[in-house]
Amino acid sequence: MAEELALALCLTKSKAHALVGRAEGLADRFPQVLRLVEEGHVPLASAVAVNDAAAWLDAGKAVVVDRVMAGRLMGKNPTQARRSTNAAVARADPEGFEERARRQCEARRFRLRHGVAGVAGLSLDNAPVDRATAAYVCVDRLARRLKTGDETRTLDQLRADVAMDMLVGKQFGGEVKAHVYLYLDALTYAGLRDRPAELAGHGVIPASLARDIAAGPKTVFQRIITDPGTGQVVELGRRRYRPKAGLAELVRVRDRECRHPGCTRPAQFADLDHCDSRGRGWKKGCRTGPSTLVGLCRADHRLRDVPGWEHKVTPDGTLAITTPAKQTYRSRPEPLGR
Ligand SMILES: [Zn+2]
């Protein structure tokens, strides 16, 4: 079958085999998800993302994930589908998830890839997410410090230069502080159960790793404890969440990621945008409050000023974005720990 497909679609044999494998996986293991595709409710790519993210589950647990994802998949693009499936998989098979995380970490490596015209790439694969994120935040902060008025290099170029200087041993002074949000429920934090936790911008991580990160003395991560029943934030670090923590932090913690549908940039680096149910921004009289602020990354924030785009926030917190083609897309922050 794969060979025929390779000929019909001008694919290499390995690509055709992968395609057949995915089709079989969907048909055999995720029939409810596949039905949504056949009925035209979700794109095939999102269903494939479910299959790929849950490929390692045994048949019994795949049935559970099929049912859960059939209820969650509507309106999700492939990236969101993959992350939502990761969360469902971690929930369905917590031990397997821990084991898989451990095995992936064992396969960590540092590679040099030669390019053309005098360039090469370096990559550090399968590093533990906490250390890789900390390293990225560190490089990013140092690069931003160098981005002064007469600096002509872009931020991407500065990050590359800073990282290279560090790798070859050049010294950079100063302490780097940054917050990356880590969400875990109170019972898991206390070690009473092992619900997977969530790292903003990354997705689910095993409970054991989350506890290690949360307890680490020099962590760049801000732990955010959630109510095991409702998934709502109950504590932010060591402080009570309200009213001491600022409104900006509250909104960023709630949103976790840029609220533009499909965007997964972490909210703690996002702009906070005023928007109400009439689509008014701050200049037009929108009030400041948790229900009228949404986190948007810089690129998506700019769309607010582009003619033809319309943003509205309904009283229940849903952000509705209408495009120039009059298509409306909606987003709400995903509930935590589901
Ligand atoms: Zn965005």
Distance 198 CA to ligand 1 centre (A): 19
**Whether 226 contacts 185, CB under 8 Å:** yes
* Distance in Å, CA 301 to ligand 1 centroid: 7
Max mean pLDDT among 167-176, 213-222, 299-308 falls in 299-308
Q: What percent of the chain has pLDDT over 90?
A: 25
Rounded distance from Cα 295 to ligand 1 centre (Å) = 8
- 158 alpha carbon to ligand 1 midpoint, in Å? 22
What is the distance in A from the centroid of ligand 1 to the CA of 135?
A: 22
Rounded-to-integer distance, Cα 129 and Cα 277, Å: 38
Question: How high is the pLDDT of residue 270?
Answer: 83
Distance between Cα 187 and ligand 1 center (Å): 32
Cis, bond preceding 243 (omega within 30 deg of 0): yes
Return mean pLDDT, the chain: 82
Closest CA to 176 of 229, 136, 205, 227: 136
DSSP for residue 291: G
Q: If you measure from the C-alpha of residue 293 to the centroid of ligand 1, how many angstroms do you get, rounded to a whole number?
A: 15
Distance (Å) from CA 114 to ligand 1 centroid: 32
Please determine, for residue 84, whether its predicted confidence score (pLDDT) is greater than 50: yes
Residue 243 has pLDDT above 50, yes or no: no
Report pLDDT digits (tens) over 271-315.
Answer: 888 888 888 887 787 777 777 888 899 889 998 888 889 999 887
The answer on pLDDT for 227 being more than 60 is: yes
- Cα 16 to ligand 1 centroid, rounded to whole Å: 34
Q: What Cα–Cα distance (Å) separates residue 73 from each residue in 35, 121, 128? A: 12, 36, 28
Distance (Å) of CA 38 to CA 49, 51, 284, 304: 16, 15, 45, 35
Secondary structure letter of residue 324 according to DSSP: T
2 contact partners, CB below 8 Å, separation of at least 6: 13, 16, 17, 19, 20
Residue 238 has pLDDT above 50, yes or no: no
Distance 296 CA to ligand 1 centre (A): 5
Query: Quick one: 249 exposed, middle or buried, by C-beta within 10 A (0-12, 13-18, 19+)?
Result: middle
DSSP secondary structure letter of residue 266: B
Tell me the chain's radius of gyration from C-alpha atoms. 22
For residue 310, how far is its CA from the centre of ligand 1 (angstroms)?
15
Please state the separation of Cα 4 from the chain's center in Å: 37
